[in-house]
Each structure stands twice: as C-alpha cells, then as structure tokens.
Amino acid sequence: MKKLIGLLLFAIGLYLAVFVKVPEGNDNRTKNNVNMARRMSQLGIVSLGAGTLIIAGGIDLSIGSFMGLCATVLAVGMQRQGWSPPQAIAVVLGMGVVVGLIHGLLVTKLRLPAFIVTLCGLFIYRGLARWWAGDANAGIGPGMFKRAFSEATPLGLPVEFVYLVIAAIVFYLLLQRSIYGRYLYAIGSNELAAKYSGIRVDRYKIFAYVLCSLTAAFYSMMHLAEVASVSPSNVGSMLELYAIAGAVIGGCSLRGGEGNVLGIILGASILTLLQAVVSFWDVPQSLEYAAIGGALLVGAIMDEVLRRRGPATAHG
C-alpha cells in the first residue's frame, strides 16, 4: 500500500508539472487532459497484459512488433482488401489468441526460454508486417472503426478510457479476486512448488501469454483508429519496453509473483506523464528514454529495498 501511495503522489506531482506549463485557457487544458487520458489508457491496457505475464513469471519482448503487425493487417485489410470493421477486428483478435498460444506452447512444451521465443517474434512480426503491406504505408478513412475506438464519449472522455476501466475491472477480478489469479501469482513466485501443489502450470502460463498478445492486438486497434495510418517498418516500435516499464514501475517484479492492477495503471500513467513533462518543459526529446530508464531504475531500487525490509505482499 505504501508503494501505491508513493506512485500516486509521484503521478500527481508529474501532472502538476505538466499543468503549470499548459497555455492558459479551459480549452487548452481540457484538450491536454483528454490527450493524456488517451495515451495513458492505451498504454495502461497493454501494460495490464504485460504485467499479468510478468506476474506469472514470463516476459514478452515482441509486443511492439506484434502490435505493428496487427495494425498493418487491419489497415491493409480494410483499405486494400475491403474487409468490414467487424471482419478486421475478428482477424486481429484471432491473431492475438494464436500468437499467444504459440508463445506459450514454445515456452511450456518445448521449454524454450521466453526471452529467445519473443525476441525471435520481435523480428518475425516486424518482417511479416513489412511484407504484408509491401513495405508501404497503409491507412483507413473515417467510419465506424474510428468511432468505435477513438471518439469521445458523451462525458467528453476518450473512449479508450472507458476501455481501460473495463480492462482494469476484468484484470482485477482475474488477478485479485479469483483462484486463477492466485495460481498465476503462485507460478510466478515458485513454478516448481506450484507444479507440485497440483496447479496446471503450463495451462496457466499459456493463458498469460494469450492475454498479453490480446492486449497488444487491442492496442493496435486503438492506435490505428487514432492515427488513421501506419508505417509497417516502425509502428509499435519500443512499445514492449514501455509496457514492461509501466508494469515494473507499478510494482511488478521481474522475478514474478508480485504486482497488482492499480499499480500497473499508475505505472503506465507515470510513463505517460513523464513524456508530457519532457514535451512541455522543453527537455531535449533525446533525453526521454533516459528519463524513462531513470524512473524504471528507481522502481527497481524501491522494489529491492521493500523486499529487504519485510515480506512482500504479492497482490496488494
């Protein structure tokens, strides 16, 4: 709980640092708040997937490339092949399930290191995206797809924020209010002990990989709806690092077995706010990664200090 309070205070401090730099006027501040809510919501959703996998003792380095492949398939399918939005959405979500299954099976059944499996995926999915699009940009026009994934709600909030709230409730119920979540924490804490206690370790680890890939696929839909076009060679670049960093800053230990939904969302919020601080305070954009790396290092240090001071609470 202390760490969550610390993260919340840090996030509030960052928001105030951005707020004082926004040009005066309600319209400017409202527009800035909506844009930050959109970015935070998108990153929060994919960080929930990455964080769940980390809690279960896994890792996925291919999130960005796979998201890029999904966005490219969406854009090319709707622009050049006449797919309807429901068809395109079904294809991309299906891709999320299939890729998650492949990752999980390779890690659990062939016992390949997750680092190697997903690192290979990072290259494979980027190459497939470029091939699928003919190494050319692809985009979509206005229509039902954009309205569903990137329009404001009647309250003025971006629809992505609504999706984040729904995702947070689902992941909270899964991780912190169900027996399946307890299994994931147990697997991440000590996989061998979990196996001997009767937990079907392979099944739940595969499930965690599927969730991670599904959130990346969903992120691709929100991203494409917002920007309307994609460049297959770089769309989604570095997303895996932002997603993992958001989860780790939010309290997920890379050792596995620790983390909670609120912390992950706060971690994603902090990353979003750090980007805004870099922009509004005229910090050289080249230092953005240094700022994020510094925040990640601070999170890792806090995790280690808290671990040494007393027993960690696995899920808040």
Give whole-number Cα distances, 225 to 178, 219, 304, in Å: 33, 10, 40
Q: Which two tokens stand for residue 210?
A: 């599927």
What does the pLDDT look like over 199-214, one tens digit per residue?
Answer: 999 999 999 999 999 9
Which amino acid makes up residue 306? L
Percentage of the chain exceeding pLDDT 90:
65
Mean pLDDT within 63-71: 97
In a domain, 243, yes or no: no
pTM of the model: 0.91
Q: Which residue has the higher pLDDT, 274 or 48?
A: 48
Has residue 37 got a pLDDT over 70?
yes
Domain count, the chain: 1
> Alpha-carbon distance 294 to 214, whole Å?
29
Residue 303: its pLDDT value, please? 67
Q: Which residue has the higher pLDDT, 144 or 124?
A: 124
In a domain, 152, yes or no: yes
Q: Are 85 and 144 in contact (CB under 8 A)?
A: yes
Has residue 123 got a pLDDT over 90?
yes
Q: Are 184 and 48 in contact (CB under 8 A)?
A: no
Has residue 162 got a pLDDT over 70?
yes
In a domain, 312, yes or no: no
- E strand or H helix at 31: helix 26-55
Q: Which residue has the higher pLDDT, 46 or 149?
A: 46
Residue 299: its pLDDT value, please? 67
In a domain, 147, yes or no: yes
In a domain, 294, yes or no: no
Buried b vs exposed e over 2-29: b needs ≥16 C-beta within 10 Å?
A: ebeeebeebbeebbeebeeeeeeeeeee
Residues in CB range of 53: below 8 A, 6 or more apart: 59, 60, 208, 209, 211, 212
In a domain, 242, yes or no: no
What does the pLDDT look like over 273-312, one tens digit per residue?
Answer: 988 888 888 777 777 778 778 777 876 777 677 667 765 4
In a domain, 167, yes or no: yes
> Alpha-carbon distance 57 to 53, whole Å?
6
- Domain residues for the domain of 42 are 36-237
In a domain, 104, yes or no: yes
